[in-house]
Structure 1
Amino acid sequence: MVNMNIQQFRVDTPGIANFIHLNNAGAALMPKPVIEAMRDHLELELLNGGYEAAAMARKEIEEFYPAVARLLNTEAHNIAFTASATDSYNRALSSIPFERGDVILTTNNDYVSNQIAFLQLQDRFGVQLVRAADLPAGGVDPSSVEDLIKAHRPRLVAVTHIPTNSGLIQPVAEIGALCRQYDCLYLVDACQSAGQLPLDVQEIQCDYLTATFRKFLRGPRGAGFLYVSDRVLERAMAPLFLDLHSATWPDADRYELVDSAKRFENWERAYALVLGAKAAVEYALKVGMDNIARQVKNNAAYLRDRFAPYDQIRVLDRGEHLGGIVTVHIPGKKPGMIKSRLREAGINSSLVFRGSALIDFDEKGVEWALRLSPHYYNTVEELDRTVAQLIR
């Protein structure tokens, strides 16, 4: 780890010269090493051809897997490159041989795309969807998870670590211990926590962990990763529709899975994105995940504290542990106008609507939220300017 030198990180981030970026939960600003890694490979393709460039960069491309493994405290053979967090998630789901009557146990705060996938499995295969209760302070109640595991013996337990619609941090390690105790498959959506919090899959005890690079990891769009546990690999679990990269064809009527998480990949991918993603992970590890987590948490807490005195701004985040996503609602204001006013002032933000967080927003009695997601390269002065715009 290194000491937090925010000014150096800002020098490494060309985008900050143009605006205040508080949309890191959407897509963070890439640092120079990420941009340069992609640019260098595209130039290699330009001058040599796509296949030839991939062959020339093969050693560096293969370094993607141990880099992500270091981020998660696992081994390279447990890592797969994918196109996005949702791509990772769907590949994981498709590897589970669901049967009619199987139960998926999830939470009220799981990501909308995951909820839709569960409902589709329910419609197509007769899988039963069960959601655990929340704690009074917010976030899933581990006791409810345990009670429902005992009652239903679910085929899969699925938890989103940090939802897209609030700063809530879910107790994924505590739930992982329950899943191991009762021998349930466990899928963790770390889309918003990867790059924001330290992630240790040995501590979490998950079978699958999915994430993207474009958010807090500060990598490129169109790139994600999937962690797959050894027990999934040993059970010969694999996604539907393998290809010549994820399996071999030794006989006319037989195929064999590759023996690593690469069975969850496709042969074709954008190698410039692979190399950009690797550079993003290496940059995060150099900064230090503990350093990043502390700075992101402090910036988000600062914003919540600054909003607290103003009656016209309602902070929506609930939960014992809160991270780097700050959600607020301003009654009587049109969300599009708020976002546009911030953009005119050079501040990037995002909006979350009820369709992305139906259960949570109905409980909070709102149709939308303004989402502000600071990163470690944001300054207090930037946060103060943002608050000043919203309290006008």
Structure 2
Amino acid sequence: MPSPLSPAAVDALRALTPGAQSTTHFNHAGASLPSSATLEAMRAHLWREATMGPMEAGIAGREQSERARLLAARLLNARPAEIALTSGNSAGWGRAFAALGPWRSGERILVGRHEWGGNLAAMRLSAQRAGATIEVIPSDSSGAVDPQALEAMLDDRVRLIALTWLPANGGLINPAAAIGQVARRHGIPYFIDAAQAVGQLPVDVAEVGCDVLTGPCRKALRGPRGTGLLYVREDFLSRLTPAFVDIRSAPLGADGEPVLRDDAVRFEAAEAAPALHCGLANALEEALEIGVENIRAQIDSVAQALRGQLAEIPGVTVLDQGRERSGLVAFNIAGLEAASVQRSLADQGISIGSNGVPYTPLDMESRGLKQIARASVSYLTTETEIGRLLDGIRKLATQ
């Protein structure tokens, strides 16, 4: 049975995390703090490159890339052949979306209200060129995407259902598996942006029923910035033709013609960052050793405590929606801009995030929000850190 980590376990993990000794970090949803072992894995490879030559050190790098692929497959309950290693969430999502091919006039894309702004940009550009449409799936009373409302919208012109599982602007968790059941029942491609979910929630691609799932590794996984995961369901791969290929994704055959890889590596490039993959392999192994179910229990416990105490501060409004919530805690302080709150806390050595409309435009506009402050927790977060953050917010709220 999953359970929160003990204080001793948290202290032990923090002792192996250099950043935990020097900063009060509440921006884990932006990028979390890597462990010493992850840093050492990257340093060791860079040293091999410096002493052996970068290309000569590539053999060890390739081994670690494949190790990262195997570990990522375990994390997502996927096959290694269904995993591509990318440079980040947008890189993976954008490549998969572009591989759907040209759009036609009248075709429809259905999205949740919480869709990431970068994904919307890619979809809108393609839709505008072709005369396709992007339509928003209604949300239920909790703010989450409504599977029944989605089903009522479907017809034979719907070519894609896209969902951002955990929004960037707050703690809501969308019902990814329920949306997947609708998509599978009607045979409609289903893309999940799991940027905030991977490493924070248990993710089972078979259970959620997606065709494509993407996530960066710098957030809850505590991997290196510049790494990401792209899952493509094996039976769906043949429907995707990458917009860009090279010698790795589509090597030339004996006749000189490109031969697309028959696995998700068709979305990888020949030029990669082996040192980052070494760090990624270590970060994935650490998450699996802790257990994502336990990570989820710990983050949920910490986030609930923070929400409850924030709500008691006069002048502070907690903005999280949803029946089930994540480790992202959104709030505003009356009379203060979120970016100003972020800067003021940074002056005190406390890191938080602040989001404007472009990050989650549909949801922000629907709720009349122009900005939010965001304190995102990790399984590394302690009561002492929460107390420090709350003290800083109290001071700002009474100015």
1:182 to 186, 199, 215: 186
Residue in 2 that maps onto 1:325: 328
2:387 maps to 384
Q: Distance in 2 between matches of 1:105 and 1:337?
A: 35
**Which of 14, 35, 45 is the aligned partner of 1:41?**
45
Q: Which residue of 1 aligns with 2:140?
A: 135
User: For structure 2, which runs of at least 5 residues remain unmatched after alignment?
Assistant: none
Partner of 1:352, secondary structure, is strand
Q: Secondary structure at the match of 2:139?
A: coil
Q: Percent of aligned positions with the same letter in both sequences?
A: 35
Deviation at 1:176, TM superposition (A): 0.7
Q: Which residue of 1 aligns with 2:367?
A: 364
1:191 to 195, 214, 224: 195
Aligned partner of 2:72 in structure 1 is 68
How many angstroms apart in 2 are the aligned matches of 1:189 and 1:17? 32
- Are residue 82 (structure 1) and residue 86 (structure 2) matched? yes
CA distance in 1, matches of 2:337, 2:62: 51
List per-residue Cα deviations over 1:134-187 (Å, max 9, x = no partner).
Answer: 1121111111111112x3541111100101111110101111111111001110
Distance of aligned partners of 1:333 and 1:22 in 2 relative to their CA distance in 1, 3 Å threshold: same
Cα offset for 1:97?
2.2
Q: Give 1:97's aligned residue.
A: 101
CA–CA distance in 1 between the matches of 2:24 and 2:343?
A: 14
For residues 102 and 175 of structure 2, what CA distance do their matches in structure 1 show? 26
- Preserved CA contact (<8 Å) 1:238 1:264: no
Please tell me the residue identity of whatever aligns with 2:336. K
Q: Of the candidates 226, 229, 240, which is equivalent to residue 230 of structure 2? A: 226
SS at match of 1:144: helix
User: Structure 1 residues 84 and 95, CA, compared in 2 at 3 Å: closer, same or farther?
Assistant: same
3-state DSSP class of the match of 2:134?
strand
Is 2:354 the counterpart of 1:351? yes
- The answer to whether residue 113 in structure 2 is matched with residue 144 in structure 1 is no
> Runs (4+) of structure 1 moved beyond 4 Å?
1-4
Counterparts of 1:384 and 1:105 in 2: how far apart (Å)? 42
Which residue type is aligned with residue 120 of structure 2? Q
State the 1:365 CA deviation: 2.7
Asked whether the 8 Å contact 1:132–1:144 carries over to 2, the reply is yes
Who is 1:282 aligned against? 285
Deviations along 1:247-300, whole A, 9 cap, x unmatched? 121155632111111001001011011111111111100111011001111111
Q: Distance in 2 between the 1:237 and 1:109 partners? A: 25
1:241 partner amino acid: F
**Deviation for aligned residue 1:343:** 1.2
In the alignment, structure 1 residue 110 sits paired with structure 2 residue 115:
yes
Residue 310 of structure 1: how far off its partner (Å): 2.5
Q: Distance in 1 between matches of 2:134 and 2:337?
A: 35
What do the CA deviations read for 1:203-246 (whole angstroms, capped 9, x no partner)?
A: 0111100000111110111111100101122x252311111100
Given that residues 103 and 152 in structure 1 are in contact (C-alpha distance below 8 angstroms), is that contact kept between their aligned partners in structure 2? no
- 1:339, 1:379 → 2: CA distance? 20
Q: Given that residues 316 and 364 in structure 1 are in contact (C-alpha distance below 8 angstroms), is that contact kept between their aligned partners in structure 2?
A: no
> SS in structure 2 opposite 1:372?
strand
Contact 2:73 2:79 in 1 (8 A): yes
CA contact (8 A) 1:98 1:127 kept: no
CA RMSD, aligned part only? 1.5
Any stretches of 5+ residues in structure 1 without a counterpart?
Answer: none
Please point out which of 102, 126, 134 is paired with 2:131: 126
1:380 positional shift: 1.1
Q: In structure 1, how many angstroms separate the alpha carbons of the residues matched to 2:102 and 2:176?
A: 23
Structure 2 CA distance for aligned equivalents of residues 60 and 118 of structure 1: 34
How do 1:229-378 and structure 2 match up within 5 A?
229-233=233-237, 235=238, 237-251=240-254, 254-378=257-381
Partner AA of 1:80 in structure 2: A
What is the CA distance between 1:354 and its match in structure 2?
1.9
- The letter of the residue matching 1:25 is A
Query: Are the aligned partners of 2:212 and 2:230 in contact in 1 as well (CA < 8 Å)?
Result: yes
Secondary structure in structure 2 of the residue aligned to 1:243:
coil
Structure 2 residue 171 is matched with structure 1 residue 167: yes
Q: Deviations over 1:346-365 (max 9, x none)?
A: 11111111222223223333
Residue 265 of structure 2 aligns to which amino acid in structure 1? K
Tell me how far 1:340 sits from its aligned partner. Answer: 2.0
Tell which deviates more after alignment, 317-326 or 92-101.
92-101
Return the offset for 1:124.
Answer: 1.9
TM-score (normalised: structure 1): 0.96
Q: 1:152 to 1:334 in 2, by over 3 A?
A: same
Distance 1:314 1:356 in 2: 20
Matched to 1:281, the amino acid is L
User: Is it true that 1:50 corresponds to 2:54 in the alignment?
Assistant: yes
**Equivalent AA in structure 2 for residue 311 of structure 1:** P
d(CA) in 2 for partners of 1:217, 1:347: 21
Task: Give, as a single letter, the amino acid of the residue that structure 2 aligns with 1:288.
Answer: G
Native 8 Å contact 1:313 1:329 kept in 2? yes
Q: Per the alignment, in what secondary structure is the counterpart of residue 280 of structure 1?
A: helix
Contact 1:161 / 1:189 at 8 angstroms: preserved in 2?
yes
C-alpha contact 1:169 1:322 (8 A) present in aligned 2: yes
- Could you tell me whether the CA contact under 8 Å between 1:297 and 1:323 is conserved in 2? yes
